[in-house]
Every structure is written in structure tokens, then in C-alpha cells.
Structure 1
Amino acid sequence: MERRTVIKNKGHEFVKLESAMSACYHLPRTGRSYRLSHLSGRWGAEYMIRRQFLTQGKILLENRTGISTTFAHPFFALDEGDSTEHSGCVWFGTLLWNGNWKFVIEQDPYEQICVTGGINDFDFSFPLKPGDSFETPAVLSGLSTAGFGGASRMLHSHQRRYIAPQGEASRSMPVLFSTWANMEWDVNEAKIFKVIDLAKKVGCELFVIDSGWQQKLGDWRPDKLRFPGGMKAVSDKVKNLGMDFGLWVEAESFETKSELYRKHPDWAMCYNGRKLCSNIRADAERRQVFLLNFARDEVAEYILGELRTLIRDYSLDFLKLDMNSYFNTPGWEDVPDEEQKTIWVKYAKNLLQVFAKLKTEFPSLLLENCAAGSGRSDLLMDSVFGRINRSDNQDTLDIIKMHEGFTWMHPSKLAGGACHISDAARNINLRSTPMKMQAYAGMMGSLSVGKKLGECPAEELAEIRAYLELYKRIRHIIRDGELFRISSFYDTPYAAFEFVSHDKTEALLFVFGHSMQFAFKVPPFKLKGLDAAKFYNIENHGENPQKNGFTATPEQCTRRSGQGLMELGIRVELLGDYDAQMIYFHTENTI
């Protein structure tokens, strides 16, 4: 159910709107304590699941950095404390908004629960002249009787049918090669040409040049020193090999050395009459960067034109939007005092409109939503963007834990990132994980490769290719299937995610071990959502060929009934550190 509010000034005098909530819900009194579940985090640790029981008083969930999911995600779930992943009643809701927001969860002295949500009223006001109206963003809410997993599947189904751009829900996510993990800002024509053929050789389908290709932040043209032959030559080379081509942009920022800043310093977001506030980027050039004020219509129109030209000139199939600044001085010149606080709303609306127009003009274009990781991953952005940078943190263990919270809101296939298969994530926790674990974790979303392919021996290139071929074989199940979170790193040293096709003829089980100890025997995983009457052939991928001599190896079973898989489960042996397996189930005619 979607609820929104339309506020109209039917009087004859000016009205200043200072609060505009979208919806208010009262939960039934049951005599039991309600438990709140929500998602919070920070850079590199997005989508962390948090839980607490309600008592008399208010709990505030909010974000007010100018973008929607910097430290909290616009999502809540309430149950009576005993609902599980697979059973129990769960009330849930999310706000479809890409700017500041808040949810207030209140329990009054008589144990009545009230949830109110909408645009955050922090530093907010909106003038309404006689006859003017203001429409709030929608709160999407529902009730699951199948636990937290049921709530997720309801949201995923709704997004596929009503929110995702036309054609995106049915798109198979292309295997992406990104320059970021292996070159960072130091990209140039010579390096790119050396790796294009190798990316094609291992099976990549989309070649993306990340930050560093541009002349300056704000000047979205290729740097002539780095790309003396121009970007068209690179695009042609990629496409001649049969891959799609994409670029990274940070459309909301410009730097002092840019031509755009020299022409329009007034376009920087800044309080009226105050000194500009910048941030210094810690790359090789130590750039001084300002945030463009997208609340200005002329800024939005200019950036729309620049991106439109970029897409046409280089025949782009993919565009990644990044954003690495918060609203540090949310003000602007040229508007009266009563309109200063409209900046939060107008900025969010104009930004979305720019990319909605691009998506309409270039319907096959795949847009990736990135904001210093997953800083703006609300469901309104999902109405335009077909891929989400789940996090800048690509450490595989961290990915698996974040993915659980990510799928509370988003379909699994949207989970992107620049370097699932790579060595770049070691700097996060000083931890290296096996390529097998990296690949299987990446397969649960939109798989990417960030290895330094030119330095990989032949056997490693062959291993990468094998993983990509496997992903292409099974990605339709992740795209269209229903997700069941079978086991969680929050509770055990192992995690398991199951995907089941809608016709129940195919299923996938991804299993990951953290640090297994004492020859621990993992309990059988009881699958969900299968057809009890069907028999499934079983293919195990990634089984460890080494045995420890203590844990009994289960007898290999290549065929089992759906009823047996759901009631008795399937044994998976996990050994040592960072073990992973993927098991494919299919009926006779779905090979």
C-alpha cells in the first residue's frame, strides 16, 4: 500500500509549510511488546540490521545529510518480538524519497504504537501561495505473515512490477569489468587498451572506466593527456570486441580548476553572503571540490545537456553516478529568505528528474546509483537506476553481511560494486579471501571483475572465466526468483541464501563459511519454496576436495525430492576459513 499527502493552500494568504509527513500508522494493541527492526550504518558498513524493543517514548530514525541513506535507511519493521525470517507477522514500511527523511516510532502510555514518516522537517520549509499545493513522497507499507523474509519478497515483487523502469526488471545483469580496483584514478589510454582484450577473454560483457578519465570534475570531457586519441577510440575498441561500454561521472560536483567553476562559481551550494565551503579530495591532485546546487533549475538543465552529449558521443550503454559530498552549506543566492529552506526538496527532485529524462531518452542505458557507496539507495532511486553500488567496501565477508540488510529493501540482482572478484578490498580489514568466495558472493547480485588481468597467470584467468560462465548460466534465477535467507552471519559462522524460480523448476543455494572450528558439522540446510512433488537434480559447485578426516562426508546425492529438501534439508560441508559453495537444483527438463 502506498500513502502520500497533498497539501493545498485554499486560502487567500501566503502559507509557510514547515512539516509535511506522508503517512501515519497505528498498530493494533496486543498486550505484548513490539520490537523495532531497522537498517543503519556508515561508509563501508551499510545496511546493518538493528533491533530493539519499544517502551513508552519516541524513537527517531532519520537522515539529514541531503541524501537518503548515509547513516540510516528509510525502512522500518515491527513485530511482537517472536517473528523469524520465515514466520510471524511483520509490519513494514519504506519512504520513496531520495532526500532527507524521518520515521518516528512512538509508544504512548497506553501501549498504542504510532509510526509517522515523511520528509525530514529539519531545516525545512516550503512556501505555498494561494492555490499552490505540495505533494509528499509516498510511504510504501505492508504486512507480512511469513516473517521478515516474506516482507522482503513482497517488496521485491512490488518493485519489479511497479517501481523498476520499463525493461529493467527483466534485464540480465551484464558481467562488468571496472578500472577502479586495478587502476583507481591513474587511468590512461595505454593502460585501457592493454586490458580490454583480456576483459573480453575472461567473459566480461560491460567495460567501465571509473574516475580519472575526465578533464576535471565538472568538465565531462576526456583528459587529452590521458586519452590523446579521444574516448571514441576506446569506445569503438570495446564495442568491436562485442562488449558494452560505460563511464563514471560525479555530476553533482565541480572543482576549482574546472572550466565550469570559472564560468559559474555562483552555482556552488553556499549560504548567502558566506565563504564557499569545499572539501579536499585525497587523490594525487588534491582537488578542491564544491557541491553543485541542483536546486537551481539552470544547473540541472546544464548537467542534463552535458550527460546527454556524453552518452551520444561515446555510445554509452552504462553510466555510473557517484556522489562524494554531503550538504555542508545548504543555501543559495538569488532566492528570497522564505525560499532558502526549499533547497533540500528542490535538489532531490531536480536530480531525480535529470536521470529520469536520460532514462526516457535512452531506455536501454543501464544507470548505476552510487553515492560514496550506498549513500542514496532508496526505492525512489530504484525507479530510475538499474544497479546499486551496495558499498565501496568490497571485502567478501563484509559483503555477505551487508547483503542480508540490502535485500530487506532491494532485489538481490541490483547489488553492484566495482570489484567483487579482485584483490582491492584487502585494505578494508587487511584480509584476503579466496576467489571462489568472492565470485559466489558477487553472483548473488550484479557480478563485477576488478582484477589486474595483465598480471594474472593463465590458470587464474581460466578460473575467472569459469566463474563468469557459471554466473551467466544461473543469473536468470537471481533476476526473477524469490529469495530466502536461510542462515545468517549475525547468528552463526555460516550464511546461506536460496533463490527459487517462480515456476519452482530451478533453485540456487549459496553457502559461505567464516572461520569454522572444532571440525564443526554444519546442520542440514532446509530449503524453502520448492515444489514438494517434484524431483530435483543436484549440482554442487565449489566443494572442497580436501577433507579433514573428522567430519563425516555426506553421501553424494544427485537427485532428491522437493519435500525431502525442505523437510530434511541438504548437508553442506564447510571447512577452515572462507569456504564457499554454490548448489544448483533443477528438474529434469531445465538443464
Structure 2
Amino acid sequence: MQPLTFELETNGFRRSISIDEAGTLRTASLGYRGIELLQEGGYEFAFAGYMKESMRFFQCEHFRCVAHETTKFAEGERWIFRLELKPSEEQVFKPFGPEPWDESRGNLHVELAFDVYRDYPVIRKRIRVRNQFPDPLRLQYMTWEDLRLASGEGRSVCHQYFTRNSLEAADNMDESAMGVVWPELDAGILVATEAPGSMKRLELFREPDRMRIAYNFNEETVFEWVLEEGESFETDAGFLLPFAGGLQDAVDGPFRDFVGNILAIARARDIPTFTVNTWETFQSEITEEIVLENIRIAAELGVDAYQLDFGWHVDHGDYRPHPRKFPNGLEPVVEACRKHNMKLGLWMSVPNVHVDSEIARSHPEWRQIDEDGGRSFMVGWTDTQIMCLDSGYADWIIDQIDTVVKRYGVSLLKLDLASVRDPYNPGKSIGCHAQDHHHPTAKSSHLGIYRSMFRIMDEIRRRNPDCLVDLSFELYGVLHGTDLAHIQHAHQNWVTNQDTGWLEPLRRIIHNRSRIVPSYTLNFGSCHLTDPLAKSYGFWSALLAHGLYYGDLRQLSEEDKAHYRYWIDWVKSYRGKLDVYDFFRVSDSLRAPDCREHADRRYEPYSTEGGRVASASGIWDGAAKVSEKGEGWVLLFRPETSGLKEETVRFPWVDASGTYRLLDVLGHEEIGVLTGEELQRGLMLAIPDAPGVLVVDCTRI
């Protein structure tokens, strides 16, 4: 055939797709503003296929392009290339196994789709595999972006939420974006995957110069999918975003804009300014009397939403108000929220039910089966069982959730408890081993459960468009899990539970995860308003994301109430003029707290027993909640163990040609009027207390 070249171009980014005489399709060039970021030798995509006793490993050279087309979508243009297996005599690779692969009986089709965005330097890719053989085809080791990037003596990989630099990096489960930087070119590229939760894998230069976006193939929730004749499987997307200059400008600029405007379904304007949640304060001891009195005080303080967490219901799988705790049902609570113009939030489990619940007894065929043939349950929750979301149970729980949301007018819905993987108990409760669910194999249940989980979220939102959906880290299967798939199906993510004594790890998580997803999508059980640290240090720490708090408000003194009433009103008034919830910028002038996250996701004891945990941070930290004009808040924190009363802080976000007035918000005094150039160089600021906080209001004049 005649060789062909297609140029996919947007905002200085060009991806050249070549098709040679044999019909083999490859990416021939990745160029950004005249800089070439690719070298020859990539495989474009790769996956293993098992049929009967044979296995083949497929790459681009085994297929030929037979058709292509372009279509328009709202944000750009989609290029589609359709491939089919070449005749066997044109293929060098032979199948493994005792039986030959009889290609005369069918074919294998691959479709590559590239989305090119007109307003962003982003090209997004996914592939679809279609089995045209009469026998089932089992897919594994799925990689849908497989390229060799340009080498370079100073080249490095920026990973762990863009906070570490290494020569190479590979990660399962946690990371959804990494950056490659070529200092000698003053350029780089961000590599991102939209695979969900524990299914994602990114590799940069684990093999020389090789970049791969793939599914997890070697740690617990490995990828597998089975295709019958005529069935197709489509991967999740991944995307590339090149940049010139510093990586932080790319993260704070086009990456943040693309993720926030195109991928995330939530907008900052949707998020209540202040919410009080009952978890940890009351846990299962919640009652109507407690709730009504707390709602009354919350309204007095100016709180916008009150959320009943675990314990309001009869039991898992039976979502009626507990008759002893709420003898009058939830209607008095609903009426109290309506009276005070306050949003009502509720907690529900999606997959976990009590072993004696009606749904468990009437549909035992829906339960998730573990590797030993018994029921799956979260560690410590021995009176519950996990129901498989990749079964008929999914439709049942959709109807249950929808009924509760509609009956009580729920505005904030927290959905919880483990499904695909127990985040506290590695190696147990991994997927579903049942034989009669929608997944044909146990391994195929891993991605299947995630996709069913997303279908549940999408349907709940479709039926209840005014309800914000929170998909918790436990349900998602990864402790502190944050990724680019989650935000496309749920408005928010309860990332972890932290109390007031864990404020440095809390800020570290916000600092790191907000480089990947909008900060307002991150929910935390953060600090108790009744804790002495909460009045300043805890209150503003939580506001790095947004105002979500615990606490029995009945314990607040009149002085406490007056304090919170003043600052809650101040924040809400400020947000009415400039929505600081929509902003989050970091740089090397605002470092991540030099402490570990309080529990590693691969399991360390996850407990807050023993009171506060001593801070180990010696440096100031913080973030800038400022607009593109450099206006908004700069929040600075001095941990308890920091001996630094003063620091020189740079403001790289401001316009060098502008002039700004800086106010010490908590001290109610002006810091000064400075030029943008002076602010970019830095100024000396003081936090006399440890722990302490400095809130700087930055306004352009």
C-alpha cells in the first residue's frame, strides 16, 4: 500500500502517525514547538492474547491499517484508525503453547482513537480490541501507549505527585501522572493515565527510553478481560501534554485547566463552603436529639451543610432510619435542614451488607466470593459481607440509593466500604471468584467491578443531578487513592480520615494530590472544631481543600461560637467575591510538609489511638489559593516542631508588572504594598507561634 502520514496538531503539539507500505501504524514524531520528543523503536501498543492453549503477544507490527476517519466532538477532533491482523506469512511472531493459532478461522481487530483538543496541548488516546474468532480470547498485559521518548543526559522523571525526580519510575495503583523533563531542551511532557484505582500502571524508562501507559499486571488487582466472538474491549484513556519551561507552570497551567475543565464533573461553585460531618465524633452513637441540636448550632455558626455519617441506618443493606436512634424517622432532620437553609448529607455503603440482612439472605448468589470459596468481607467487619458490584446486585443498590436520596432530599451522598480490594488488608478480598456473575474469571472482576462502580455513580447522578456524590477511598480500594478516573464519575473523594492531631500529614496529602485533581474534589475527615488547635491552625489547614469538619458543636463555648461565626462569615463573604476554592498553586517556595503520610497504602497500622501524633515537620508549608492574576489567599503554616519564626517567601504566581496589597488576615493589618517583581523575589514573613498559621490576602491594585 502507499505510505501515509497524518498530522495530529493542537496548540504547538504535533503527533505524526505514519503507515508504511506493509500497513503498519506507528507514531513517527512527537513534536512541541519545533522540539522533537520521540525516537524510533516504540511499539505503539501491546497486549497478550490467550486462546485455548495458545498465547500470542501482539504489537503494532502484527496489524495493518485498513481504514481511518475523523469526527468532531465538542472540544476538538477525533482520529480513528482501524487495524486488523496481517496474514500469517507477514508476521514474524509465533504463538506460544502446544496448539497453533489458526488464523484462517477469524481475525482480531484493533481500533486506535486519538482525541485532539483545540484549547489544550493535549492528545488523548485509547484502543479497542474486537475478537472475530469463534473461540474466547483472554486479554492480559494491556498497554495502550508504548513509545520510546528522546534520550538526554539531563533527562529526569518527576513522579510521586510531581514531588520527586528520578532517572526512571514505575508505579501501580497510586500515580496517575508523571512528568519527563529535558533541561537541555527546556521542555518536557506530562504522561497521564485515566485507568481507575488499583488498575493503573505507569512506566517511564524502566526499560531504556520506554514510556508505557498500561493496566496493573503484577500487583494484586491484575488486568484480565475475556472476549467472546464479536465482543469488544475498550481501554481507559491516557493522554500526553508537552510543555516548554518549568514543569510546575505546566502543572499549574494547562494540566490543571484540562483536568478541571474537561475531566472533572464537579465545579468549585458546587461545593458547600462549610460542612460538618458526624464521623469520628459520634460514629454509631448518633441520635435524633444530637443531630437536631448540632444542626441548630451549625446554622448559628453559618455552616452550609450537615452530613450524617455511619450509624443513622438500621444496618448495612437496610437503609431505614434506626428506630431507636431516630424514632421519628429522618423527617425531623430533613425539616431542620430545610428550616435553616442547610444541605443534608448522608452516608451509605455500596457493596457491604450485614450477613443477616434481607438482601444477603434473599440473594446469596450476588455475594463476592474470596479465593478460598467463602464470603469476602473487610478486615474487622466479620458480621458483613461484600456483594459483587459486577453482578445483579448493582441494579438493586442503585434503586436503594436512589430511594433514600429522593425521600430525604439528600444533597451530599457519601458512598463507602470496600468492593474490589480491601485497602487495609493487602492480599485478601481481592476481586470476586464467583462463577455466575458478569465477569467470566476472577481476574476480570477487578476492572469489571470498577466499571460497574462507575455505572452506579453515573446513574445516581443522572437520577439526582443536584446531589453531590462522594466516592470514598475504601470503596475505591486504595488508601489515599486519587486519580483522573475517579473525578469523571464522582464529584468528590473522601481521601482519608484525619483528625486535628494529624494536620501535617493532612496538608501533605492535600499539597500532593491537589497537583493532580482539583482541591475541592478532596474530602477529608479533617479536624474537630472543638479541639483547641482548630480555632486557627486546624481551621485553615482544612481550607487548603475546603471547609469540612468534625465536632460536637454542643461543646463549643459562646466565645468559640463567636470566633467561628466571624471567620465562617468572612470566608463565605470572600468566596462570594473571589472563589478561592477554585484555586490551588504550589511551587518550590511552598514545600510539601517534611513528614510522611500517616499510613502507607500497602498497610501500616491505621489508627489515631493515643491522642495527637507529634509533628515531625521542621519547615513551613502551604499553598496559594490565588487566581491567574495572583489574587487570593496564600496560606502558610509553621508546624509545632519548626524553629523558624521567619521565612523568606516568594510569590511566583503574581504578575511582575503589577502592584499588590498584602494583608495579614488573622492579624488584621497590612503587610505592605509591593510590586510583582518584589514579590517574585520574595519577602520576609513571620509566624511567631508554633504551631501557627499566616493567612495572606493578596489583592492587585
Whether 1:563 aligns to 2:677 is yes
The residue that corresponds to 2:654 in the other structure is: 530
The answer (yes or no) to whether the contact 2:661–2:674 under 8 Å persists in 1 is: yes
Q: Which amino acid in the other structure matches residue 487 of structure 1?
A: L
Partner of 1:429: none
Which of 37, 51, 61 is the aligned partner of 2:171?
A: 61
Larger Rg: 2
Q: CA deviation at 1:215?
A: 0.8
The partner residue of 1:408 within 499, 502, 515 is 515
Match of 1:291 among 386, 389, 400: 386
2:215 touches 2:223 (CA, 8 Å); kept in 1? no
Where is the strand percentage greater, Structure 1 or Structure 2?
A: 2
- Please name the residue that 1:106 is paired with: 205
1:187 and 1:213 in contact (8 A); partners too:
yes
Q: Residue 288 of structure 2 aligns with which residue?
A: 189
Unaligned runs of 5+ in 1: 40-47, 64-71, 425-431, 546-554
**RMSD across aligned C-alpha pairs, in angstroms?**
2.9
| Most deviating of 312-321 and 230-239 | 230-239
Aligned to 1:269: 368
Q: What percent of counterpart residues are identical?
A: 15
Task: Quote the residue 2:691 is aligned against.
Answer: 578
Alpha-carbon displacement from aligned partner over 1:529-550 (angstroms, at most 9, x marks no partner):
323333323221224x9xxxxx
Query: Aligned partners of 1:154, 1:120: CA distance in 2, in Å?
Result: 31
1:164: which partner in 2?
264
Question: Which residue of structure 1 aligns with residue 22 of structure 2?
Answer: none
Q: What one-letter code is carried by the residue in structure 2 that aligns with 1:378?
A: D
- Is the CA contact (8 Å cut-off) linking 2:193 and 2:213 kept in structure 1? no
| Matched letter for residue 309 of structure 1 | T
Report if the CA contact (8 A) 1:253-1:292 is conserved.
yes
Shift in Å, 1:330: 2.4
Taking the TM superposition and a 5 Å limit, the aligned residue runs for 1:341-356 are 341-356=443-458
CA distance in 2, matches of 1:374, 1:518: 32
The alpha carbon displacement at 1:378 in A equals: 1.9
Instruction: Tell me, yes or no, if the aligned pair for 1:7 and 1:134 is still in contact at 8 Å.
Output: yes
Greater RCO, CA 8 A, separation 6+: 1
- Is residue 418 of structure 1 aligned with residue 512 of structure 2? no
SS of equivalent residue, structure 1 residue 6: strand
Alignment coverage as a number of residue pairs: 537
Query: How far did 1:152 drift?
Result: 4.5
| Other-structure match for 1:498 | 624
- Tell me which amino acid in the other structure corresponds to 2:320: R
Question: Shift of residue 33 of structure 1?
Answer: 4.9
- 1:492-516 Cα offsets, whole Å, 9 max, x none, are 61013113224x1722111111246
Q: Distance in 2 between matches of 1:573 and 1:150?
A: 30
Alignment of structure 1 residues 176-575 onto 2, 5 Å: 176-271=275-370, 274-279=373-378, 281=380, 288-296=383-391, 298-324=392-418, 326=422, 327-328=429-430, 330-334=432-436, 338-372=440-474, 375-394=480-499, 395-422=502-529, 433-475=533-575, 476-481=578-583, 483-485=585-587, 486-490=589-593, 493-502=619-628, 504=629, 506-515=631-640, 520-523=645-648, 525-543=649-667, 557-567=671-681, 569-575=682-688
- The answer on whether the counterparts of 2:172 and 2:216 sit within 8 Å (CA) in structure 1 is no
Displacement of 1:329 in angstroms is 5.6
Conserved in 2, the CA contact under 8 Å of 1:177 and 1:449? yes
Q: Which of 118, 138, 155 in structure 1 is aligned with 2:255?
A: 155
For the structure 1 residues 338 and 204, does the alpha-carbon distance in structure 2 shift closer, same or farther, using more than 3 Å as the test? closer
Say if 1:23 and 1:139, in contact at 8 Å, map to a contact too.
Answer: yes
What do residues 476-528 of structure 1 show as CA deviations (whole Å, max 9, x unaligned)? 443333523332145661013113224x17221111112466665312x2212
Unaligned residue ranges in structure 2 (runs of 5+): 1-122, 423-428, 595-617
Letter of the 1:112 counterpart: D
CA distance in 1, matches of 2:226, 2:643: 66
Instruction: Report the secondary structure of 1:301's partner residue.
Output: helix
Distance 1:208 1:237 in 2: 13
Tell me how far apart the structure 1 counterparts of residues 271 and 572 of structure 2 sit (CA, whole Å).
9
Q: TM-score, normalised by structure 2?
A: 0.71
Which residue is equivalent to 2:613? none
1:335 Cα deviation from its structure 2 partner: 5.2
Task: Provide TM-score, normalisation by structure 1.
Answer: 0.83
**Most deviating of 180-189 and 367-376:** 367-376
Return the alpha-carbon distance in structure 1 between the equivalents of residues 163 and 383 of structure 2. Answer: 36
**Distance change in 2, residues 1:487/1:193 (3 Å):** same
